[in-house]
Amino acid sequence: MGWLRIYADSNPSVIAWESRDSIAIAAKLGDMGVRFERWQAAVVLPRNADDSAVMAAYGHEIERLKSEEGYKSVDVLRVLPDNPKIPELRKKFLSEHTHAEDEVRFFVEGEGMFYLRIDGNVYMTLCERGDLIGVPDGVRHWFDTSAAPCFTAIRFFTNPDGWVAQYTGDEIADKFPKFEKAAA
């Protein structure tokens, strides 16, 4: 299970609130309109699993969320440590941006860090296997894969064009702690 730390957006050195309790995290994020849920990610994916295998493994969960929320399309983002584009991907994700539609991710393996800037605070949210996060459209945020990413997330869209990042140009992400994984 992940965790949540809240900082004032003007002071990245002081943690104002922190929890590892999924119910408390869901409540705190829910107050900001952010969906956070713990789901079952029971299928262990083989290293060579392609997108269709990931979607087949989680077909029931995908169809349930599509029917509940009206999502029209789904894809898979899988980043493994041997990906030669890791530095490029990390840099792209680390720039603060918004989207014209919700950003919804179900982590089926690995982990990544979402940073949400809402009402003068930064919500640093570790998402791990089994976490579903839904960032509302228009919320300023960035994502850190870590320097050695290894995660698979199923992404949900109402309109894939709405997911295009609109970068804010603000360098706030440079001021906050980066996602550093604990040694295995």
For residue range 13-22, what is the model confidence (pLDDT) as tens digits? 999 999 999 9
Length of the chain counted residue by residue: 184
Please give the CATH topology (third level) of the domain spanning 4-161. Jelly Rolls (2.60.120)
102 confidence band (pLDDT: 50, 70, 90): very high
The answer on pLDDT for 1 being more than 70 is no
Q: What integer pLDDT is reported at residue 182 of this predicted model? A: 59
- Residue 120 neighbours by CB under 8 Å, 6+ apart: 8, 9, 10
Domain residue limits, the chain: 4-161
Q: What integer pLDDT is reported at residue 184 of this predicted model? A: 44
The answer on pLDDT for 183 being more than 50 is no
Max Cα-Cα span within the chain: 44
At 87, is the secondary structure helix, strand, or coil? Answer: helix
